Structure 1
């Protein structure tokens, strides 16, 4: 594999695709629909799951492991912020409840990142 492909395959691409998916989800909620609003209410759980899946890059052959933990953290925090911002802005009833979903989503993400970092460093370093 080329050196560029080693660098390109990683958490940044994963989160960029997730941000693209959240933009498409936000566009699909015009006009507002109850089913998409239900997905958006539980978006904090999807972001935490995506943060957990980001650690799967540790096991993908061909992924550059130098600086991978730092790349996972930076891409996850920035990607989660952008994805949640785009998706939650399309929620039909803006208010303090949807802001709480953002805060809870970021807290869940930090918890998953800390837990995943510990597991990877202890068992696979």
Structure 2
């Protein structure tokens, strides 16, 4: 593979895919609707506990360059996590204090999962 494709296959492209998936899900469910509110609040758990470990799974793909991968995962985990989480919570029908609390809780879980994933990645792949 050439050098450009090594940089394109990475966590940034993965989080753009996650963002487009959330936008597609919002359009398919015609949100904001009341019946989907519990799902959108639960994305505060789904995004950190599922999508961040999928991002750390890039260490197992042979075409991804590893020297700066951990820093790239941290940056895109925080920035991408913010955008995906805020987009998913914007589909909640009642924008009250519960949605803000879910966002803060989701970002906190993102930091915790990033720390745990970083420890695992440093131990396993160094």
TM-score, structure 2 normalization: 0.92
CA contact under 8 A between 2:44 and 2:105: conserved in structure 1? Answer: yes
Q: Shift of the alpha carbon at 1:18?
A: 0.7
Equivalent residues of 1:26, 1:89 under 8 A apart:
no
SS in structure 2 at match of 1:50: helix
Change (3 A) 1:100 1:7: same
Cα distance change on mapping 1:3 and 1:9 into 2, 3 Å:
same
Q: SS at the partner of 2:66?
A: coil
Q: Which moved more, 1:58-67 or 1:24-33?
A: 24-33
- Deviation string 1:44-75 (CA, Å, 9 cap, x unpaired) is 11111201211000111110112000000001
For 2:9, the equivalent position in structure 1 comes to 9
How many aligned positions are there?
A: 124
Q: TM-score, normalised by structure 1?
A: 0.92
Distance 2:9 2:121 in 1: 19
Structure 2: unaligned runs, 5 residues or longer: none
What's the offset of the Cα at 1:33?
A: 4.6
CA distance in 2, matches of 1:37, 1:22: 14
What's 2:81 paired with? 80
SS in 2 for 1:100: helix
* Cα pair distance change 1:23/1:121, threshold 3 Å: same
Q: In structure 2, what is the equivalent of residue 51 of structure 1?
A: 52
